[in-house]
Chain A
Amino acid sequence: MIYAILRRFGQMLFVMFGISVIVFLIFFATPGADPAARIAGRNASPEVLAAVRHSFGFDQPLYVQYTRMMEKIFVTGDLTSFVNRGWKVVPAVMDSIPVTLSLVFGAAVLWVVVSIIIGIVAAATRDSWLDKLLMALGLLGISMPVYWLGEVMNLITQSRYHDSWAFSWVPPLGYKNFSDDPRGWFLTLVIPWITLAILYIGIYGRVLRAAIIESMQEDYIRTARAKGLSETRILFRHALRTSLIAFVTLFGLDFGALVGGSALLTEVVFGLHGIGKLTYDALQNLDLPMIMATVMYASMFVVIANAVVDFVYILLDPRLRAS
């Protein structure tokens, strides 16, 4: 068991190392990608260019630059931005993490609960008008781009109907720390949670419905019927349990990606300064240290999410326990 965990941990480290090397090479070693030229700006004289190169250490061999950057991220934690010199990158990432985690966790709770309910109801009432309605709504949710939906939400809750009884509780955009103001934290995040969750509710509801309907064709469901169990029990204990595997796979991938910065559009629309926004700004400025730090952080979450998924698999499916 301990060996398995250690091996898993080693794999995670290896994946993160690979990602860091690839990202580093994309920005430093791609032909035409000279970081010094980018920092110095257009029409910089060769002297200025040389000075920048020396000052940022670009005249060192690549592996030295790489090692130094990794050391500054993981050991000393004092990596500074190329664009805004003196701005420490690691604390900036650390400050953004709670914002993104709050957003994604809340949305994930919402979409898991709602989509499980929708998937079960739709599968249980298969081909009825209710099933068709739920699936149509799901498709609608999937089709609405989150930046558009977010703006519409803002239009309704912040502007048009803000003074009505329904939305007067909605605080202005922005993030409030949970430790300072738990109520404010919750209220500011409700609308972003719903906005982000709608897409995933649509996807997960449909996936779960399909998985349940597929398991209902299995031989063991016929056995369960032959045992004289009620349809409800068959659905929950036998069909749902085996259908959750596909659901968990999908969740691990989506959750990892969102925490790693894919919630960017939601963050921007709702003025939440999370990891996505940080990465986006860094990419705009080609601020390599910041990109490197956010990518390392994101890859860490994706890798961890995958490890958690594997663990949940083992809980869900005893067939995976032996190997």
Chain B
Amino acid sequence: MILSVRDLRVSFRTHDGPVRAIDGVSFDLEESEILGVVGESGSGKTVSLLAVMGLITDPNATIQGSIRYKGRELVGLPPRELRRLRGNEIAMIFQDPMTALTPVYTIGWQIAEQIRAHRGVSKAKAMERVEELLAEVNFPNPHEAMSRYPHQLSGGMRQRAVIAMALSCDPALLVADEPTTALDVTVQAGILDLVRKLRAKHKSAVVFITHDMGVVSELADRVMVMYAGRVVERGTRMELFSDPRHPYTRALLGSIPPLTGQKPRRLPAIPGSPPSLLRLPQGCAFGPRCPVRYEPCESGRPGLGGGAHAAACFRVAQA
């Protein structure tokens, strides 16, 4: 087991009172497994993974629960220790490749910087490695690309450079925060291919955050659906796509246009919008938008329960 998160809670103090962005999230990750984390904006996907990375720098945030990486507790680890893991054993790819790289340094410099932060190698050795990495992420001319500045590369190229950077120290765990959202569809496909290939080669486990069900269905071994700071359904990809149990998961899948059969006149959408974390409804957070809500949903929040394929819904528990 690479990563084991138990009952993770992240809350922020704000002017309008405390906001619980993550409310009791638990999940496990096996070696070289790809976990897809799905949900709308504000559902807590990114915050939960930033917590894993120790990258929540907001002084108003409190993190509770347990995050174990290879058996080692990360919550409360001194910053120095955490820094040794970050970039080295746990690497992250961010959503927007346009702003994720420092504009005033070449990408070769920036990748070498990470290598040299964790490995005591010479500059020349680091640069050799950079060239290998850039070749690995399909830069046509890696040697020349090293001396390019971020603004001289396209979005897809930048994301490849960011991926090369993330892989530079052979991390055991790779966290990808919507790495394809800001890219064109064709570039997206290339990046997904790359992630799959790299998983095979580097044996890294990957947490892939996305709001794109299509991406999940192509890539993930297991899937976790989040809503309003909680996990509402989890299961293998097959389980989730063939037998979605939570009404939210079903609604998400229902809003994907079908490739075969008759074209629907209008795509079904989920009515309403995600609740504000400051004013969560009584009972189930999805209740107000749920097509199958009934009495119990008004009073208590349903738990996820045990089991590999589980959904946090009273209807499911009842059935």
Contact = CB atoms under 8 A, between A and B. Distances in A.
B92 A226 contact: yes
Interface stretch (B94-102, B120-128, B301-309): B94-102
A225 B57 contact: yes
B48 to A, nearest CB: 15
B117 A229 contact: yes
Contacts of B96: 219
A242 interface: yes
Interface residues of A, number: 23
Contact of B87 (A218, A227, A231): A227
A241 interface: yes
Interface string A206-242: 0000000000001110111111111101000110011
A130 to B, nearest CB: 17
A322 B149 CA distance: 11
Given A219-B94, A230-B83, A318-B149, A225 B101 contact: no
A226 B87 contact: yes
Contacts of A319: 103, 149, 151
B197 interface: no
A220 B113 CA distance: 14
Nearest to B91: A226
Nearest to B96: A219
Interface string B99-135: 1111110000000011001100000000000000000
Contacts of B53: 226
A318 B103 CA distance: 8
Interface in A85-132: none
B82 to A, nearest CB: 8
A100 B73 CA distance: 63
A71 interface: no
B94 A241 contact: no
Contact of A228 (B83, B94, B104): B83
Contacts of B84: 228
Contacts of A242: 102-104
B94 A223 contact: yes
B104 A223 contact: no
Contacts of A227: 86-87, 113-114, 117, 165
A226 B171 CA distance: 12
Interface in A239-263: 241-242
B99 A218 contact: yes
B56 to A, nearest CB: 10
A227 B118 CA distance: 9
A315 to B, nearest CB: 10
Given A218-B99, A219-B99, A318-B104, A226 B113 contact: no
Interface in B66-96: 79, 83-88, 91-92, 94, 96
Contact of A220 (B100, B117, B149): B100
A228 B103 contact: no
Interface string A181-216: 000000000000000000000000000000000000
Contacts of A226: 53, 55, 86-87, 91-92, 94
Contacts of A229: 83, 87, 113-114, 117
A142 interface: no
B5 interface: no
A63 B215 CA distance: 74
Given A225-B57, A227-B114, A220 B101 contact: yes
Contacts of B103: 220, 242, 317-319
B101 A223 contact: yes
A241 B104 contact: yes
Given A241-B104, A318-B149, A318-B151, A228 B99 contact: no
Interface string A310-323: 00000011110010
A224 B110 CA distance: 9
A316 B57 CA distance: 28
B83 A222 contact: no
B37 interface: no
B316 to A, nearest CB: 37
Interface in A162-197: none
Nearest to A231: B79
Contacts of B83: 228-230
Contacts of B92: 223, 226
B35 interface: no
A311 to B, nearest CB: 16
B276 to A, nearest CB: 23
B162 interface: yes
A222 B94 contact: yes
A224 B55 contact: no
Nearest to A228: B87
A211 to B, nearest CB: 14
Contacts of B55: 222, 225-226
B307 to A, nearest CB: 33
Given A222-B55, A319-B149, A228 B114 contact: yes
A237 B86 CA distance: 18
B204 to A, nearest CB: 15
Nearest to A242: B104
Given A225-B57, A233-B117, A317-B103, 8 more contacts: A220-B99, A220-B103, A226-B87, A228-B83, A237-B113, A318-B149, A318-B151, A319-B149
**What 10 pairs between A and B have smallest CB-CB spacing?**
A228-B87, A228-B86, A219-B99, A227-B87, A227-B114, A226-B92, A318-B149, A220-B102, A319-B151, A223-B100
6 contacts: A219-B94, A220-B99, A220-B101, A226-B53, A228-B118, A318-B103
